[in-house]
Chains A and B, each alone.
Chain A
Amino acid sequence: MRRKLPLIIAFGIGFAMLIQYFIPHPRSEAFYNVIVQQWFIIIFAFMYIFALRSFFMHHITKVKKKKEGYIFSAVAMVSVLFMLLSGLITSRGPFFDSLYNYMIAPLQGTMFSLLAFFIASAAFRAFRARNVQATLLLVTATVVMIGRVPIGDYLWKGMPALVEWVMTIPSMAAMRGIRIGVGLGAVATAMKIILGIERSYMGGE
């Protein structure tokens, strides 16, 4: 029953939602509203309770056993509690906003900004004309990089139009091709789950 119940739920709800899509009647909409407005939203909200439990269990274990880097686990737990209590006590007031604007925002921005450096080193290492495909990739990347900034228009008036053509024709054609495959694959995987052939979401067979 432990294995069968999730399969029955997946099968029942999966097919019900598939059929519901084609029925515009208010009764069908009411069924959908119960699932979407009530069940989904409640499940999503409870997910965050699980997250906190897992987080603290992992880091408390690291601190207790004094594993390598356990100080950072302590810092992580203190930070989470501090943000949580700040938000609860000050009701998202100016202090909480300051923590977000002057600590979290710059930290996340800093991590994202690393991409600028990493793409330079990755491009230097990877964009070598080893074969025909690599050469094509290299030339296209160079043209698009120049054309996507104002200096491209400054160097040659036709550059933006060329880049626009690359983005809207060959690049989009390739994206569409991959997307069609991904779409069909997603439908097939969803059907395998609904039919009970794919059972990974239950954590193994």
Chain B
Amino acid sequence: MGFWQRFLKLDRRWIFLGITVVVIIPLIKPIGLPIKPTKPVIDLFTYIDTLGPESGAVMVVTGFDPSTMPELMPMEQALLRHCLVKGIPVISLGGLYPAYIGMAKMAIDEVTEEFPDKKSGEDYVFLGFIPGVSAVILSIGIDIATTFGNDYYGTPIDSLPMMSSIMNYSDISLVVDVSGTSTPEYWLMYAQERYGVNVGVACTAVSAPAYYAFLQSGQFVGMLGGLKGAAEYEELMTRKGYPTGRRNATIGMDSQSLAHLLIILLIILGNVGYFIVRRGERKQGIIMRKR
């Protein structure tokens, strides 16, 4: 069997090894490729940046579990930091499914450590999980306190100073769903369409193409798509002089760049091998027919 025939039958474990190497190396020795923010990210950033302590709350919804944490946690933390540094009242909703509450707690715990002057119940509220998905989204439009009863820590929502002026969507300037699934569409269907609240989305790179339609129609005010979206948001935060933490998304972009290049190289080599082998088979076919 020729080289190219063997190459086309390459054991997938060699490919896995190649990916491992190109992902690890930039984490040890960063390359530092520049990040250029794109319009969907700038739109979401600008929208939040124009808000302030008096302009209604921002609700950050955690819609991901540990599997998509590397991609979505940096987004959630950047959004929380942005709201806290601007003094915007922020409601962190622990998610529409039970698997998400752990991620929400992780995000709020890590970010609030950087803001020791911000108090739960006064500057931010952390709501837990209740089952119902679409029922919960609709119920928030009626009354948040009735829907949840208590916050995650067991304090009655009615007794929280921040929630004295926040009853439902009419007191919320923006809902941002940080999601690895299709829950952003639920927020559009049930929150925006019914109650008119503005919605933004922070999603995985795989889901981003599906949401461009909603972005273009103005149903989403902005979008963070994938780790690159998170890195762009961190870049915008840095440019404004806001705190950005470790910039986890930016650190990951070098690895992602090299991994993409490796995949492209494999595709190119695979096609080269495919055409060479096919030409060889055709020549053999001609020789056999002549015989």
Contacts and interface: CB of A to CB of B under 8 A. Distances in A.
Q: Do chains A and B touch in the complex (CB under 8 A)?
A: yes
Interface of A: 29, 32-33, 36-37, 40-41, 44-45, 48, 97, 100-101, 104-109, 111-113, 116-117, 119-121, 123-125, 127-129, 138, 141-142, 145-146, 148-151, 153-154, 160, 164, 167-168, 171-172, 175-176, 179
Nearest to B260: A145
6 contacts: A29-B142, A45-B131, A111-B67, A116-B23, A138-B271, A160-B38
Contacts of A123: 263, 266-267
Contacts of A168: 212, 216
B133 to A, nearest CB: 8
Interface string B192-225: 0000000000000100111011001000000000
Given A120-B19, A150-B33, A179-B213, A128 B271 contact: yes
Contact of A33 (B20, B142, B268): B142
Given A40-B132, A101-B106, A171-B209, A149 B271 contact: no
The residue in B10, B67, B134, B136 that gathers the most chain A C-beta atoms within 10 A of its C-beta is B67
A113 B71 CA distance: 11
Nearest to A135: B271
A148 B270 CA distance: 22
Contact of B35 (A106, A150, A172): A150
Contacts of B19: 116-117, 120
A178 to B, nearest CB: 9
A113 B69 CA distance: 10
B257 A109 contact: no
Dominant secondary structure at the B interface: helix
Given A120-B18, A124-B10, A146 B131 contact: no
A90 B267 CA distance: 52
Contacts of A100: 102
A148 B226 contact: yes
B259 interface: yes
A45 B131 CA distance: 6
Given A149-B228, A175-B209, A121 B106 contact: no
Contact of A128 (B10, B38, B274): B274
Interface in B1-57: 10, 12, 15-16, 18-20, 23, 33-36, 38-39
Contacts of B36: 150, 153, 160
B176 interface: no
A110 B265 CA distance: 25
Contacts of A142: 264, 267-268
Given A120-B19, A154-B34, 8 more contacts: A36-B138, A107-B66, A112-B70, A146-B264, A150-B35, A167-B212, A171-B209, A172-B213
